[in-house]
Structure 1
Amino acid sequence: MAAHDTKPEAAITEAAELKNRRYTVGYIRDWKTHNRATSITLKGGWLDEAGFETGTPLKVRVMPGCLVLTAQELPPAPPPEPEIMQTLRKVCKLSARKQRQVTELIEVISKPQR
């Protein structure tokens, strides 16, 4: 009955290699107060493999003796501004309200008609 719950040793070893890293808490000089500030620097290709690519926003949960780092998804990029809006902005100064109105008009016009 327990046989289906067991994992091969190789999988456990590979997972342990990815998860166990040793670091030492150090310090940096706080540029505002010139006092020492506690610091931890994490480096290595293993961060990419764990889903922490350059530019990834992090959520840090702090508990006594424990830090949990969670990669957050990037918000979707805003759609590109229509070329006509870029041209209008160069030619004349539009208020934010007028820009929204023009953008809405462009969206209505550009939708395929049934």
Structure 2
Amino acid sequence: MANRDCNVNSGRSTAQRRYKVGYINTRHADRHTGMTRHYSQHPSLHLKGNWLEAAGFATGQPVQVCIEHGLLIIRLVEND
């Protein structure tokens, strides 16, 4: 397992949140006629709530999502 420099317990918001991975539908249209050929479903996760700001994520701030199997780490992008 890779070493991680992330401490999820270091933020101001200590509450855990539980979500379910949902899906979004994507419409696929015929290039020539514009008619719908089919729809496909893709996994989707929507995070929202005042707890994001309490955890240090204000509106408009850029974030970076680090992806590992079974783990997403969301970090603020440092402004240089």
Matched residue of 2:53: which SS? helix
Report deviation, 1:15: 5.2
Q: Which runs of 5+ in 1 are unaligned?
A: 1-13, 76-114
Report deviation, 1:50: 1.0
Q: Which one has the bigger strand percentage?
A: 2
Contact 2:63 2:74 in 1 (8 A): yes
Q: What is aligned with 1:96?
A: none
Q: What is aligned with 1:22?
A: 18
TM-score by length of 2: 0.64
Q: Which runs of 5+ in 2 are unaligned?
A: 1-11, 30-38
Higher RCO structure (Cα 8 Å, ≥6 apart): 2
Q: Which one has the bigger helix percentage?
A: 1
Matched residue of 2:14: which SS? helix
Structure 1 runs, 4 residues or longer, greater than 6 Å off = none
Q: Matches of 1:48 and 1:32 in 2, distance apart?
A: 36
Report deviation, 1:53: 1.0
Report deviation, 1:52: 1.1
Q: What is aligned with 1:36?
A: 41
TM-score by length of 1: 0.46
Q: Matches of 2:78 and 2:27 in 1, distance apart?
A: 31
User: Which letter maps to 1:58?
Assistant: V
